[in-house]
């Protein structure tokens, strides 16, 4: 998503920051050099832009008086009021990070604060106020009316296989189609995220700030695979990112860091390398096996990484750690619909027959969620399921 150059100024914790049309709040802040977006729940560790796809809460801030906003998914608008919500006195310098030092390995709060009992009300008060600092929204919001719709075909996901299927179905003249696609961080079209399957047979879709409930004669699940991170030591602090966050920054010409280390290995590695190259970030090391990582070094953000290469311990200075974790089939909707799942390696995928039909009549699936990995297979899978859906029009 190229930056058009049209400036969009907003305030961040009271100071004016320049962003541009085409930015999300997170990318504008990243360009400005902001690293600490929030502080974690128990230990008040700094967190920054991490997943870039609205699937974590590391980038969450208060926007125009509304708490808990995933800044990686919100298009930047002129005059937005953005504030961090956690940390005392500030998110950048948070005294409550003392909890990180006091509770050095874990903090199971169900086994604490049990005695003496006369202090219980104070413990509860303190813990309640420390657990969440997301203050109630400043004002009642205004939302578009909930809409109910019906259509012949609902396609959920417009990745590689979903878009091929869509094209094929539209080419055959089917008009009554609704497409839902998350498009997080792509500000060209409002994202429409399918968020639930309900008893009535309706699929809930979030379009902008409003909701739609869609009843479809047939549903195609093409929700693809989701990126996940790696449980490496200190893999949570700012400067740790997943490939989607890298894509969002580099596609806007923003460098995620000068010296990057890739940890782990998945199919997105080559794409990540190309993207880093385009913004002149150097890859200073690649640690293919995440278990070789001893720890990520840093305080408020990544400063380096310690790992072992064979028997040799190595310490490398870096400001960016890219976690290439597993790409996990996004089967949430399939599970809610009641589609049978089938194990595939370490993943659960949607079981389909040769025609792309799931175990639920009228529900089809293709692409990554059926366990396909190779791009050519996902493309042909999209074609095949579209043809199957067209053949079965008028029946399940």
Contacts of other proteins in 105-144 (CB under 8 A): 105-115, 117, 124, 127-129, 131-144
Q: Does 395 bind other proteins (CB under 8 A)?
A: no
Q: How many residues bind other proteins (CB under 8 A)?
A: 104
Residues 6+ positions from 31 with CB-CB distance below 8 Å: 19, 23, 252, 254
**Least distance (Å) from other proteins to the CB of residue 175?**
26
Q: Does 204 bind other proteins (CB under 8 A)?
A: yes
Q: Report 278-337 residues binding other proteins (CB under 8 A).
A: 295, 297-299, 325-326, 328, 331-333, 335-336
Residues 6+ positions from 34 with CB-CB distance below 8 Å: 12, 48
The CB-side HSE value for 296 (13 A sphere, CA atoms) comes to 30
Other beta carbons less than 10 A from residue 344's beta carbon: 15
β-bridge partners, 227: 327
**Least distance (Å) from other proteins to the CB of residue 78?**
12
Residues 257, 320: contact at Cβ < 8 Å? yes
Q: Does 186 bind other proteins (CB under 8 A)?
A: no
First to last CA, the chain: 39
Q: Applying CB under 8 A, which part among 103-111, 167-175, 249-257, 365-373 lies near other proteins?
A: 103-111
Instruction: Look at residues 144, 36, 3, 28 and name the one whose alpha carbon lies nearest to residue 79.
Output: 28
Q: Applying CB under 8 A, which part among 43-51, 251-259, 271-279, 351-359 lies near other proteins?
A: 43-51
* Residue of 186, 236, 244, 319 that binds other proteins (CB under 8 A): 236
Q: Does 16 bind other proteins (CB under 8 A)?
A: no
Alpha helices by DSSP H, listed for 39-145, are 98-102, 120-131
Q: Does 351 bind other proteins (CB under 8 A)?
A: no
* Residue of 8, 55, 158, 168 that binds other proteins (CB under 8 A): 55
Classify residue 67 as exposed, middle or buried by CB count within 10 Å of its CB (0-12, 13-18, 19+): middle
Q: Report 239-278 residues binding other proteins (CB under 8 A).
A: none
**Least distance (Å) from other proteins to the CB of residue 88?**
13
* Residue of 27, 36, 58, 358 that binds other proteins (CB under 8 A): 58
Pair type for strands 46-47 and 60-63: unpaired
């Amino acid at each position: 998503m190229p930056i058009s150059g049209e400036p969009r100024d907003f305030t961040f914790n009271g100071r004016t920051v320049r962003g541009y049309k085409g930015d999300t709040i997170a990318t504008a802040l990243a360009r400005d050099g902001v690293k600490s977006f929030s502080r974690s729940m128990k230990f008040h560790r700094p967190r920054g832009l991490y997943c870039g796809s609205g699937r974590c809460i590391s980038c969450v801030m208060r926007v125009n008086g509304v708490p808990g906003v995933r800044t990686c998914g919100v298009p930047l608008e002129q005059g937005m009021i953005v504030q961090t919500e956690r940390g005392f006195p500030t998110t950048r310098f948070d005294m409550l990070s003392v909890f990180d030092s006091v509770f050095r390995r874990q903090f199971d709060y169900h086994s604490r604060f049990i005695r003496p009992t006369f202090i219980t009300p104070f413990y509860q008060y303190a813990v309640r106020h420390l657990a969440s600092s997301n203050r109630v929204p400043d004002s009642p919001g205004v939302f578009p009316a909930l809409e109910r719709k019906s259509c012949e075909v609902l396609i959920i996901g417009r990745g590689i296989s979903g878009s091929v299927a869509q094209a094929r179905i539209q080419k055959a003249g089917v008009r009554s189609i609704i497409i839902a696609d998350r498009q997080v961080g792509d500000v060209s079209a409002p994202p429409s995220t399918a968020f639930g399957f309900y008893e009535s047979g309706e699929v809930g879709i979030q379009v902008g700030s409003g909701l739609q409930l869609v009843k479809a004669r047939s549903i195609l699940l093409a929700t693809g695979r989701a990126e996940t991170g790696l449980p490496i030591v200190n893999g949570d602090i700012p400067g740790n990112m997943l490939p989607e966050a890298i894509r969002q920054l580099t596609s806007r010409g923003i460098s995620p860091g000068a010296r990057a280390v890739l940890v782990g290995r998945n199919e997105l590695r080559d794409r990540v390398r190309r993207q880093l190259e385009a913004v002149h970030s150097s890859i200073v090391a690649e640690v293919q096996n995440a278990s070789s990582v001893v720890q990520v070094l840093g305080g408020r953000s990544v400063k380096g990484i310690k790992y072992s290469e064979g028997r040799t311990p190595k310490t490398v200075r870096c400001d960016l750690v890219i976690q290439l974790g597993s790409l996990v089939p996004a089967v949430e909707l399939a599970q809610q619909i009641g589609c049978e799942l089938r194990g595939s390696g370490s993943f659960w995928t949607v079981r389909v027959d040769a025609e792309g039909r799931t175990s639920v009549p009228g529900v089809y699936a293709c692409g990554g969620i059926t366990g396909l990995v190779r791009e050519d297979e996902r493309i042909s899978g999209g074609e095949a399921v579209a043809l199957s859906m067209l053949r079965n029009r008028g029946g399940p």
